[in-house]
């Protein structure tokens, strides 16, 4: 009897420890929302640097949780057989998740109360809560056209924006193996931003069972999309419609200037000194 009681107590303690580790996992809500998603079991020895956070951290063994969640949602709810899903469809799913990382959301979408501040939306340059919230809210009507042409509207929301919505249109179409992607602001900028992506190079297969095999070389692709499209758009919106404090050269603290000048060559250091003296004399 004592042996049975001891084994039962030991099993109870092990289950309790497992629950503690599970409850400390930052991905437990993601696991609850996605069918078949396995949560990361957190222990004191967990090395978080080995787990992908952003799309660019993904690899052929493990996708970023946000990308895996969105991709699984797409395969489950798109209403099409896997054989009818194109590589360019998966590329649009990827672009959507990268846009979320820059806090661009579908136009007109509502945010949960936890992301609001009074009457305004609150956002940071990367908000994990926002990415997770919209991962399972991919607008499937974006994929209704089968001709390899996509068009949808995104918006950047900020509590100090001069406009209610800072919107843009993302227009993408296939030309052979290339996906030409254009980001067109709706306000304050007549031109747009554009980039070209080789689809098969980054989407080698459409695999609904082993999701990490759908993508490859995502680090370079993610940075390319951010640098060519989303970061320039954000910079434009901040410059035109979101009041920010832009410190001048005179406003930089002296100790910071000393550290910066320590990394400059002699000629550049003299040029900076001359510019500063010009400001001080005016």
The pLDDT assigned to 124 comes to 46
The pLDDT assigned to 164 comes to 64
Side by side, the strands of the sheet bearing 104-106 are: 104-106, 149-156, 166-175, 178-185, 193-198
The pLDDT assigned to 17 comes to 47
Q: Is the pTM of this model over 0.85?
A: no
Average pLDDT over residues 46-65: 82
The pLDDT assigned to 84 comes to 92
Quick: pLDDT tens for 121-179: 444 456 777 888 899 999 999 998 777 789 999 998 776 666 666 899 999 999 999 99
Residue 47 confidence class, pLDDT cut points 50, 70, 90? low
Quick: pLDDT tens for 82-131: 999 999 999 999 999 999 998 899 998 887 776 665 444 444 456 777 88
The pLDDT assigned to 122 comes to 42
Tokens representing residue 154 in the block: 């995104």
The pLDDT assigned to 42 comes to 58
Residue 188 confidence class, pLDDT cut points 50, 70, 90? confident
> Could you give the CA distance from residue 78 to residue 94 in angstroms, rounded to a whole number?
15
> Could you give the CA distance from residue 95 to residue 138 in angstroms, rounded to a whole number?
11
Q: Name which residue leads in pLDDT, 144 or 7.
A: 144
One of 3.40.50.620, 3.40.50.300, 3.60.20.10, 3.40.1000.30 is the CATH number of 55-241, namely 3.40.1000.30
Instruction: Assess contact for 53 and 62: CB atoms under 8 A.
Output: no
Q: Name which residue leads in pLDDT, 108 or 208.
A: 208
Which helix (H) or strand (E) segment holds residue 16: the answer is helix 2-23
The pLDDT assigned to 15 comes to 52
Average pLDDT over residues 261-277: 86
Average pLDDT over residues 194-210: 96
The pLDDT assigned to 180 comes to 97
Quick: pLDDT tens for 20-43: 444 333 433 443 344 444 555 656
Instruction: Assess contact for 13 and 21: CB atoms under 8 A.
Output: no
> Could you give the CA distance from residue 177 to residue 137 in angstroms, rounded to a whole number?
28
Does position 261 have pLDDT exceeding 80, yes or no? yes
Does position 228 have pLDDT exceeding 90, yes or no? yes
The pLDDT assigned to 253 comes to 75
Q: What percent of the chain has a predicted confidence (pLDDT) above 90?
A: 40
The pLDDT assigned to 123 comes to 41
Q: What is the mean pLDDT of the chain?
A: 79
């Amino acid at each position: 009897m004592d042996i049975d009681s001891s084994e039962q107590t030991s099993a109870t303690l092990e289950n309790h420890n497992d629950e503690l580790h599970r409850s400390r996992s930052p991905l437990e809500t993601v696991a609850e929302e996605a069918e078949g998603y396995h949560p990361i079991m957190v222990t004191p020895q967990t090395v978080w640097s080995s787990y992908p956070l952003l799309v660019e951290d993904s690899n052929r063994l493990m996708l970023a949780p946000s990308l895996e969640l969105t991709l699984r949602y797409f395969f489950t709810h798109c209403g099409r057989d896997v054989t009818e899903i194109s590589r360019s469809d998966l590329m649009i799913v990827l672009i959507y998740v990268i846009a979320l990382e820059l806090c661009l959301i579908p136009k007109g979408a509502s945010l949960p109360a936890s992301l609001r501040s009074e009457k305004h939306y609150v956002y940071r340059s990367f908000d994990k809560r926002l990415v997770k919230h919209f991962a399972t809210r991919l607008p499937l009507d974006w994929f209704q056209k089968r001709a390899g042409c996509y068009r949808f509207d995104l918006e950047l929301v900020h509590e100090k924006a001069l406009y209610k919505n800072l919107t843009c249109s993302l227009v993408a179409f296939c030309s052979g193996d290339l996906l030409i992607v254009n980001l067109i602001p709706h306000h304050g900028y007549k031109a747009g931003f554009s980039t070209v992506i080789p689809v098969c190079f980054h989407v080698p297969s459409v695999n609904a069972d082993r999701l990490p095999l759908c993508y490859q070389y995502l680090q370079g692709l993610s940075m390319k999309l951010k640098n060519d499209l989303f970061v320039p758009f954000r910079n434009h919106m901040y410059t035109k419609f979101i009041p920010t404090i832009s410190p001048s050269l005179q406003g930089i603290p002296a100790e910071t200037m000393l550290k910066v000048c320590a990394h400059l060559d002699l000629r550049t250091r003299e040029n900076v000194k001359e510019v500063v003296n010009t400001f001080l004399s005016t």
